[in-house]
Structure 1
Amino acid sequence: MVVTDPSRTSGRLLDQATDRTLVERCVDGDMRAFEVIITRYGRMMKAYAVRLTRSSADGDDVVQEALISAWKRIDTLEDGAMVKSWLMRIVSRRAIDLMRQRKDTESTDDAIIEAPEQDGPERKAEASSQLGALSEALDRLPAGQQQAWVLREIGGYSYEEIAEQLGQSVASVRGSLARARATLVREMEGVAMNDDDRSSEQLAAGGCAHGIDALSDYLDRDMLPADPTIDESPECQRVLRSLRRVRALATPLIEADEAAVTTLDQGWIRGIMENIEREAKAGRDIPFAMADEAATLVITEGTVRGLIRGAGDRTPGILVGRCILDGDVSVVGEPVTLHVRVSIGWGRPVTEAIAQFRDEVATGLRQHTDLVIAALDIIVDDLHFEVAETEGSREASDHE
């Protein structure tokens, strides 16, 4: 017989947790913590995936696969505070894999996607804005150029990383980026320039001896070391200003895309969580002391972690992160040391909160297990800001 987890952390409490605490809980098998991560970053992941695949349906598939993969591999993430960028990189890999599978029906570099029609007042208003103009200019780029630009300017990938993702040479990636940047500068800024290797000649004719690729690299280096042939050329400075303005729109663009994903479909989230539930691991079996040797009653390691998380939920200001049971829990009576990492609410008296949490843990484990706890090692390694509880939120929490 297996005893199941009697505790359930409320979503309201977990919403206050930092990314690091959520990831630690996920490593210990807390699916509710992962659901909070999905709610927190799913819309941005969807926006990023759609930018790379140019399809809302494909974007949904990419994000679903990325999240399931993330759950399986979350114990490999060394710094939980970096979960957002880690998730975005998984999305980019999944999106590029999907596009590679379709290479036989659509070239990723030469295919031109028609710009959407501007036949409504909302669309016309968007097109008149800088972000709307950039979005439409990106839609008109060949797919390979758009992917390279998105990975570089939004994803923050290096040229080498983009080349690995796209299965191309670094030189090919640089060429795609140069053509994409030249097109965007021309369409967004009205700077006349070619989008191929002749751009250097054209810029030279205007007083700049450098092509757009070289000028982009100069921006990447924060214009260091100084190059007088660029700094003293009015034409080069004009192109640099245009490149800088277009580049500065990259983050606002993906934020606007995220805002357009007004909500995540709950059925879609449930489907992901059902897949994840099949992958969840309960951990080791922890037996109870039984008078009848023929009888077996166990509680799982995952359930014990849930009990400890529940103790944190009952302690004001405490959110439990990682829980490690150090010792042979499979043998009744063997001493076990608990290592628990917690986040504490800003302004909470640490000593009092930890003392109450320690009492809650001890009480819960005595009631539900026969573990012999040799030591309880509690480490406060994070802080979170608490949201004041309203009457409505209390009622909602009571009905969870």
Structure 2
Amino acid sequence: MENPTDQDLVRQTLSGDVRSFEKIVKRYQYTVFGIAFRLLKNKEEAEDITQETFLRCYQNLDKYDQGRPFAPWIRRIASNLAVSRLRQQRLRQLLPWDYVSRTLSRHQGCYSDPERALENADDRQEMAGYLKKLKPLDQLVVILRYYEDLDYEEIAYILNTTRNNVEVRLSRARRKLRRLIAESQGEVKQCSPAKKQKNSSISTSTESWMR
């Protein structure tokens, strides 16, 4: 079979074909690593979570409902493991954020619209400095929505909750990001004229989106 579906690979794996599970790993390794890394911001930790995710996946493959899409199921495993790891890390500020810190030192205080920045791929790394200050589940819902580009229903399935709960949590996370940015702007006396102009344009173009 040239292009087996996820369900085909699952059935073949459950029948004893280990190579089929290797194909599952290759198909989803970057997705799983991406979720873990964006939440933990540490390559080694993300690699560890990725390995554990596929181990859990293999061990529980018989519990997977083949009538549902496979991607949200494995994202749920990765998300749960990453959030648990993050909660265990208590001293999150000690994670390696050198690059983010250097970036923020150049741009800190110049964003008043977190949603617009999260939608812009060039700005997401800079937003990471603010994102890490959110609660683990709030970080995760932002990551799944803006970095993984999942819709509310998919996120609700991954978090094992309702769409309404996802919308409420995401709204709360945006408000927190907006407050964090406002606080940082109060600490920075001024931005360059170019940055001020960019900031003004962002705020104007996304005013309705922020409500």
Could you state the TM-score of these two structures normalised by the residue count of structure 1? 0.35
Q: Deviations over 1:29-78 (max 9, x none)?
A: 22100000111111121111101111111110111111000001111111
Residues 31 and 189 of structure 1, relative CA distance in 2, 3 Å threshold: farther
Conservation of the 8 A alpha-carbon contact between 1:49 and 1:62: yes
Q: Deviations over 1:121-180 (max 9, x none)?
A: xxxxxxxx931212321343214253341144435423994889xxxxx97775334323
- Residue type of the alignment partner of 1:178: R
Q: Distance in 2 between matches of 1:143 and 1:76?
A: 32
Question: Paired residue for 2:124, among 122, 128, 134?
Answer: 134
Aligned to 2:102: 117
Larger Rg: 1
Kindly indicate which of the two structures has a greater share of residues assigned to strand: 1
Conservation of the 8 A alpha-carbon contact between 2:6 and 2:70: yes
**Aligned 1:82-161 pairs, distance under 5 A:** 82-103=69-90, 105-106=91-92, 115-117=100-102, 130-141=120-131, 142-144=133-135, 145-153=138-146, 154=148, 156-158=154-156, 161=159
Q: Distance in 1 between matches of 2:76 and 2:158?
A: 14
Question: Paired residue for 1:178, among 175, 179, 186?
Answer: 175
Structure 1 stretches lacking a partner, 5+ long: 1-12, 119-128, 165-169, 193-236, 244-400
2:197 matches 1:239 = no
Conservation of the 8 A alpha-carbon contact between 2:76 and 2:158: no
Aligned to 1:191, the other structure's residue is in SS state helix
Conservation of the 8 A alpha-carbon contact between 2:134 and 2:176: no
Q: Distance in 1 between matches of 2:63 and 2:41?
A: 30
Residues 175 and 74 of structure 1, relative CA distance in 2, 3 Å threshold: same
Aligned to 2:203, the other structure's residue is in SS state coil
Structure 2 stretches lacking a partner, 5+ long: 104-118, 182-197
Residues 238 and 150 of structure 1, relative CA distance in 2, 3 Å threshold: closer
- Residue type of the alignment partner of 1:28: S
Could you state the TM-score of these two structures normalised by the residue count of structure 2? 0.62
**Aligned 1:240-389 pairs, distance under 5 A:** 240-241=208-209
Q: Distance in 1 between matches of 2:7 and 2:63?
A: 13
Kindly indicate which of the two structures has a greater share of residues assigned to helix: 2
Conservation of the 8 A alpha-carbon contact between 2:36 and 2:79: yes
Q: Deviations over 1:353-386 (max 9, x none)?
A: xxxxxxxxxxxxxxxxxxxxxxxxxxxxxxxxxx
Conservation of the 8 A alpha-carbon contact between 1:49 and 1:59: yes
Question: Paired residue for 1:70, among 51, 57, 74?
Answer: 57
Residues 191 and 162 of structure 1, relative CA distance in 2, 3 Å threshold: farther
**Aligned 1:9-88 pairs, distance under 5 A:** 16-79=3-66, 82-88=69-75
- Paired residues in the alignment total 166
Aligned to 2:102, the other structure's residue is in SS state coil
Aligned to 1:157, the other structure's residue is in SS state helix
Aligned to 2:189: none
Conservation of the 8 A alpha-carbon contact between 1:148 and 1:162: no
Conservation of the 8 A alpha-carbon contact between 1:159 and 1:174: no
Residues 180 and 149 of structure 1, relative CA distance in 2, 3 Å threshold: farther
Aligned to 2:195: none
RMSD between superposed Cα atoms in Å? 4.0
Residues 181 and 80 of structure 1, relative CA distance in 2, 3 Å threshold: farther
Aligned to 1:191: 203
